[in-house]
């Protein structure tokens, strides 16, 4: 049997700066919405595909095949990401193109800054 000795850790010194001080409820709810939106494997893949595409934008027509998902399923996930403000959409003719909302990603990254 192995005995593990726990060493006290100063949580405040290793917590991300965005969580080093108390945050108000409205801000916590806003951040929770962002985290819920990306807490899905398909959505994380969509974000990575969009970001890796030419000009960091992608058409829904180019996202279905790599994910092996139907267009309605991909559109649902894109809608969740759009409503959370993590991606932006632009209609061009009959297709909709998506790109990352850099301001929103900056807000999210500040939460995890050390």
Residue 9 lies in a domain: no
Residue 76 lies in a domain: yes
Model pLDDT for residues 11-68, shown as the tens digit of each residue: 566 656 666 678 889 988 888 888 899 899 999 999 999 999 988 899 988 899 999 9
Indicate the number of domains in the chain.
1
Residue 94 lies in a domain: yes
Instruction: Give the pLDDT of residue 12.
Output: 60
CATH of the domain at 51: 1.10.10.10
Mean pLDDT of 59-82: 93
Residue 87 lies in a domain: yes
**pLDDT bracket for residue 2 (50, 70, 90):** confident
* Long-range contacts from 14-20, C-beta under 8 angstroms, 24+ separation: 14/114, 16/111, 16/112, 16/113, 16/114, 17/110, 17/113, 17/114, 18/110, 18/111, 18/112, 18/113, 19/111
Instruction: Give the pLDDT of residue 66.
Output: 92
What is the model's pTM?
0.76
Residue 2 lies in a domain: no
Containing structural domain, residue 65: 24-111
């Amino acid at each position: 049997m192995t005995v593990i000795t726990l060493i006290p850790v100063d949580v405040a010194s290793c917590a991300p700066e965005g969580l080093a001080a108390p945050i108000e409820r409205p801000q916590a709810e806003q951040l929770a919405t962002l985290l819920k939106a990306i807490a899905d494997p398909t959505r994380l893949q969509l974000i990575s595909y969009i970001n890796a595409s030419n000009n960091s934008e992608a058409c829904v027509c180019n996202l279905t095949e790599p994910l092996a998902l139907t267009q309605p399923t991909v559109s649902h996930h894109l809608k969740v990401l759009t409503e959370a403000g993590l991606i932006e959409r632009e209609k061009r003719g009959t297709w909709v193109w998506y790109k990352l909302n850099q301001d929103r990603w900056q807000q999210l990254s500040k939460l995890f800054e050390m």
